[in-house]
Amino acid sequence: MSNVTRDRLLFAAAIILAGIYLFPLYWMYITTIKSGSEMFATPPTFWPTDPQWQIFGNVWQGRNMGRYIWNSLVIACGAVSVIAVLGVGCAYVLARYRNIWVDIGLFLILMLQVLPASLMVTPIFVGFSQVGLLNYPRLAVILAIAAKSMPFFVVLVRATFMSVPQELEEAALVDGNSRVGAFFNIVLPLARNGILVSVILIFMQAFGEFVYSKSMIQAVELQPASVGLNSFMGPNTNEWNNIMAYAAIYVTPILAIFVLLQRRIVSGLTSGALK
């Protein structure tokens, strides 16, 4: 067997594997455009006979999705800005030095990274209600998400800073730059790509966050899309095409960003988690 045939065979097998693995996504999109009766047909159709394109507009209007997505965006952007502003500096210092204090700091951060949100939400909710933060529910959720996701961000960005050669910064210092100047003019631009990838990853997480929003935001007008999807799915629902349309509208931007930046996201992710 020549190398070319072998490669082609393997590629075909890989496509089939990916097809099987990604079938749930296909099923979401295909269910979306099925009509009510076709959806419950036995045997199910794997290609819609009568695609219903207007369903996207109907669900967007009917479920008031604009508001939900807007809230998701507000929460995700807020959390990402808090994390980026605080986390970048922290990651920089943790990457630059190697001593016992840095080790302790890293250990603390890794420990805080693993606390499950659904277990931490009880004390956070009670504490926030005592200091009155629950009167600003979206801000409360932003702070909670920031605390939850910042350790992960610091670990990822620290890996980026580690790959910036320290000699460049030292050269800038010798040339008379201050530490602040060297940080903003030399180190930060060099680490820009890695930081951007980490920001995107954190954004996607925050955009889909559920536990904190569900627990702390009572007012429907302030709830993000994940909570909206949850309340759309009642226990005995049969509007699956509408629910899948909701899910598709919600998830497609994330999938688009991911597919476009796939290579960078994957390499950024792996460099932080273990290498």
Partner 1 sequence: MKRFLSSMIDGRGFDIGLVSLPLAFLLTLSGLPLLYNIVMSFQEVDMFSLGSFWRPFVGLKNYRDLFAQPETWPILANTATFVIASIAGQFLVGFGLALFFWTNFPGASWLRGLFLVSWVMPGLVVGAIWNWILSGDFGVLNFILRETGLIGGNIFWRSDPDFSLWAVIIANIWLGTSFNMILLSVGLSAIPRDLYEASELDGANVWQRFWTITLPMMRASIGAIIALGLIFTLQQFDLFAAITSGGPNNASNVTQYWAWDLSFRQYDFAKGATISVIMIVFVMIASVVYVRSTRHEVRG
Instruction: Give least dist CB 61 to partner 1, A.
Output: 20
Which is closer to partner 1, CB of 58 or CB of 122?
122
Kindly write out the interface string for residues 17-56 of this chain, putting x where it contacts partner 1 by CB under 8 A and - elsewhere: xx--xx-xx-xx--x-------xx-xxx------------
Number of H helices, E strands in the chain: 16, 0
Region of 58-66, 139-147, 164-172, 191-199 interacting with partner 1 (CB under 8 A): 139-147
Site for partner 1 in 239-258 (CB under 8 A): 240, 243-244, 246-247, 250-251, 254-255, 258
Site for partner 1 in 54-73 (CB under 8 A): none
Which is closer to partner 1, CB of 17 or CB of 171?
17
By CB under 8 A, residue 214 contacts partner 1: yes
Q: Rule CB under 8 A: choose which of 1, 2, 167, 180 binds partner 1.
A: 180
Place of tokens 């955009």: 207
**What are the DSSP calls for 130-156, one per residue?**
HHTGGGSHHHHHHHHHHHHHHHHHHHH
Q: Where are the alpha helices (DSSP H) in 54-116?
A: 55-62, 65-96, 100-113
Q: Which long-range contacts (CB under 8 A, 24 or more apart) does 17-26 make?
A: 25/255
Q: Rule CB under 8 A: choose which of 122, 135, 163, 193 binds partner 1.
A: 122
Structure tokens at 36: 């009510």
By CB under 8 A, residue 87 contacts partner 1: yes
Q: How many residues bind partner 1 (CB under 8 A)?
A: 105
Instruction: Give least dist CB 147 to partner 1, A.
Output: 4
Site for partner 1 in 148-167 (CB under 8 A): 148, 150-151, 154, 162
By CB under 8 A, residue 97 contacts partner 1: yes
130 vs 124: CA distance, rounded Å = 10
Site for partner 1 in 99-118 (CB under 8 A): 103, 105-118
Place of tokens 């269910």: 31
DSSP class of residue 45?
A: P
263 vs 266: CA distance, rounded Å = 5
Q: Rule CB under 8 A: choose which of 93, 171, 220, 260 binds partner 1.
A: 93
102 vs 104: CA distance, rounded Å = 5
Place of tokens 């790509």: 193
